[in-house]
Amino acid sequence: MPVQRRRTCAAVATWRRVGLNVPSALALEQLPIAIVGCGGLGVPAAWTLVLAGCRRLTLVDDDCIELSNLHRQVLYPHAAIGLSKAQQLATALQARFGPLDIHCRQLRVTAETVSPALNGCAAVVECTDDAASKFIVNDWLVADRGRTGTMAAAIGRGGQWFTVSRHTSCYRCLFQQPPDPQILATCSVAGVLGPVVGAVGSWAARSLLAALQGQPDAAHGALVRFSPRGLLRTAVVRAADCICADASYRDGPDAPNPPH
């Protein structure tokens, strides 16, 4: 039986250095986590976080539910078509898991809105189908050092996720800038299978939780891809010319933890 290796990774050391205990389920209850994009990936990510014991969520999405979303965004009732995704996800989670501390922000993350939208959050799961948004969140994580985030994407019968913290390479080490939207296939042209997005969104959230709890995780500083061919992990080395290579970010003090 393979046994999970318990390595003391850099994140644990950091938590200890700043005088925090390694977060347990109890600490997860207090940890404010944002989900950017409450669609096919955001729904399973939120579901996973709450099952893991998270109680404080910020849900960011400016979109409304459409009939064609329901095959993969399975926490939304048919009757909620036309209503706000962020609000409806909050309602669905409260109905299933009792009172939770949820803030809804009905907006799209841009370079201007990212800071106020994610203000006070200790960690982020980026779940939109917009490549530019992943770079905006990545840059916020790097600029607001000490935050941890996971970027998720899915299309067709596959998907990928990547977890960024101060101790690893960042999304820009892997992709220098957002791809040209014209050459990027989106779910609206390439299609997407509901259960696959579910697995990818949940995996992304689990990766974030592992990184927050100081456990070794496959996607921490690495791109993990899931497709019918299997799982593919590619470790990403910090690029020397990347924004995250700045010494004050890499080796400097952590940002203060958001107030509990």
Task: Return the range that interacts with another protein (CB under 8 A); candidates 30-38, 66-74, 105-113, 140-148.
Answer: 66-74
Q: At what angle do helices 194-212 and 42-51 cross, to 10 degrees?
A: 50
* Closer to another protein by Cβ: residue 33 or 117: 33
**Which residue has 């990547």 as its token pair?**
162
Minimum gap (Å) between residue 82 Cβ and another protein: 14
**Which residue has 């014991």 as its token pair?**
53
Q: How far apart are CA 147 and CA 195, in angstroms?
A: 29
* Closer to another protein by Cβ: residue 117 or 204: 204
Residue selected from 68, 94, 110, 115 as contacting another protein according to rule CB under 8 A: 68
* Closer to another protein by Cβ: residue 110 or 186: 186
Binding residues for another protein restricted to 167-186, rule: CB under 8 A: 173-180, 182-185
| Catalytic, out of 9, 38, 54, 187 | 187
187 is catalytic: yes
DSSP string, 29-58: HH-EEEEE--STTHHHHHHHHHHTT--EEE
Binding residues for another protein restricted to 191-210, rule: CB under 8 A: 191-196, 198-199, 201-203, 205-206, 209
Q: What residues contact 259, with CB distance under 8 A and at least 6 apart?
A: 120
Residue selected from 26, 79, 82, 248 as contacting another protein according to rule CB under 8 A: 79
Is residue 26 a contact point for another protein (CB under 8 A)?
no
Task: Return the range that interacts with another protein (CB under 8 A); candidates 107-115, 136-144, 240-248, 252-260.
Answer: 240-248
User: How is the beta sheet containing 32-36 ordered, strand by strand?
Assistant: 101-105, 56-60, 32-36, 123-126, 148-155, 158-164, 222-227, 230-235
Active site residues: 187
